[in-house]
Every structure is written in structure tokens, then in C-alpha cells.
Amino acid sequence: MNQVTEPVVPAHAIPRVAPAPQPPAVRRRWHQLNAPMQDWAGRRVWLVGASSGIGLACAQALRAAGAQVIVSARQPQQVQAWAAQDAGVQWMALDVTRADDVQAVAQAILAGGPLDLVVYCAGHYKAQRATALDLPQMLLHNEVNYQGVLQVLAAVLPAMLAQQQGHISLISSVAGWSGLPNGLAYGPTKAAMSNLAETLYVDLQDQGIGVSVVHPGFVATPLTAQNQFEMPALISPATAAQEMLHGWARGQFDIHFPRRFTLWLKALKLLPYRLYFPLVRRFTGL
């Protein structure tokens, strides 16, 4: 895993943004677990691990909706060029496996004003089965997919709690719902993320902080490009981003898509194991 060579940006390098007038509060209905986020004008959003795939598409969609976006990842890819052309986009290099850098970058961002939304998009995936267990790869999955989000939470939660505002959204995966072939390293880390999101919601629902968890199905990203099988209900990152914005606008906690695929997986998980395991083998061929 490549390490970031760019220096961490000091707090004084980020101009402090005057808080934009907050849009009128949208009344939460009985079925909404979070306050709906519909008006993005002037809102500050930090997307961690968003230089490609779903994260980048989400950053672009939020910016198009009027949000001020801060994008962090190990490699800039096309984000730096975008940030150079748009004052509403900031790029800050970050490797989530380096705790000191996470704290420093978060402090620099918070010095520019409060965050309305933090989206953890960082992820690592390499297909693996128990018949070829690769311990270093399994530990790397855990370091990026789960420990990384803990580093970010430790860096931003104190400020959010002090301000009694903000929203945290974790991008998990349907692979975290149940055990699936090739998911030996990836699936357990996503299951941990989903459980973490549920616990965060329980603890923060009366603190003015929203929490949501995103469970995408198959999305055409650099991570899924390595799959050697036909991916059902494959969607584009742009479609995934719109589904996320739609879920936030509706105040959802569990944002899963595409539903023609995810609802089938949810139903599958309800089956007893004596039916679940044979069906998984039948439909995956593994």
C-alpha cells in the first residue's frame, strides 16, 4: 500500500469559510430515522477516500447540488485538477492508516468551519477464499475498511458533539450482510462497519448528529473491475451517488441500492442456514 508523500496541509492553509445560513429545518416524519438533508447550498462535506469510484461521484453530485466539498484520499487522481478549477472543491491528501495524519487533516478542516456531513468512502478489496488464506491482505482490509473509519470518527466526533450537529455516513456493502464466496477478507470488515453505524445511531440520535450507512450492490468501480464473474444489477458510480443523495434527502438510515438486487439479498438472509448455504452455492456457482 503506497504511502502519501505530500505534506499534511496546516490549518492556516485552509481559508476559514463563514458559516452559510442554514436552510430551514425539515420536519422529520415518523418513518425517517434522520433529519432529511435536501438543501446542500453552502453545506461543508468531507469525503474520505473519494478520489475515484462511488466517493468521487458522490463528491461531484454534492458539489453540483451546491455543497462545499473537501476530498481526501491517498492519491489525487483527477481531483486536484478539479479543485484547481473550482473554489468549492478542496483536495487534502490523506492515508487513513496513518493516525497522526488523520488527526492533523481533520483539525485543519475543522479550523475552516463546522462539517455538515462526513462520508467515509475509503475501501480496499481483493477477492479471497479460505482455501487460499492471505493474512497480510486480511489485515490490510481491516486497517483500511474498519480501523480507518475509527480514526476518522475519533478526529471529528468531539467537534460534532460540541456543536450538536452534523451527519456521519459510512459506505459499507451488501457483502457485510452475510457470508459470500470471495469475501473472506472484505465481507467481515463491511459487517463491522454496518454494526458500527447501528451503534453510532443508537448513541448519537439524541445528540443532534445523524448517522447513515450505505449498502451498495455491484457498482462499476476500480475495486469491482477485478471481479472475474458477471455482476448482477451492475450500476454506475453516478447512479450510486444519486441513490445516496436520495437516501439522505429522505432521512434514511439504511441506504441500499439497487433495490432489485438488495431486496433479494435481504430476503435471502432471512432464510435458515440449511436453505441459505445451498442457495448461495447454487447462484454463485462456488
What CATH number does residue 215 fall under? 3.40.50.720
Report how many domains make up the chain.
1
Q: Stretch 35-39: mean pLDDT, rounded?
A: 96
What pLDDT is stored for residue 243 in this prediction? 97
* pLDDT above 50 (res 12): no
Q: Is 186 tagged catalytic?
A: yes
CB 89 within 8 A of CB 69: yes
pLDDT digits (tens, 9 = 90+) for 168-210: 999 999 999 999 889 999 999 999 999 999 999 999 999 999 9
CB 176 within 8 A of CB 191: yes
SS3 state of residue 210: strand
Mean pLDDT (the chain) is 89
- Which of the residues 120, 125, 186, 201 is marked catalytic? 186
pLDDT digits (tens, 9 = 90+) for 202-258: 999 999 999 999 999 988 877 776 766 677 778 999 999 999 999 999 999 999 999
The model's pTM is: 0.87
Domain that holds residue 96: 34-284
Q: Is residue 29 part of a domain?
A: no
Q: Is residue 6 part of a domain?
A: no
Q: Is residue 228 part of a domain?
A: yes
Angstrom distance (rounded) from CA 61 to CA 46: 13
Q: Which residue has the higher pLDDT, 106 or 80?
A: 106
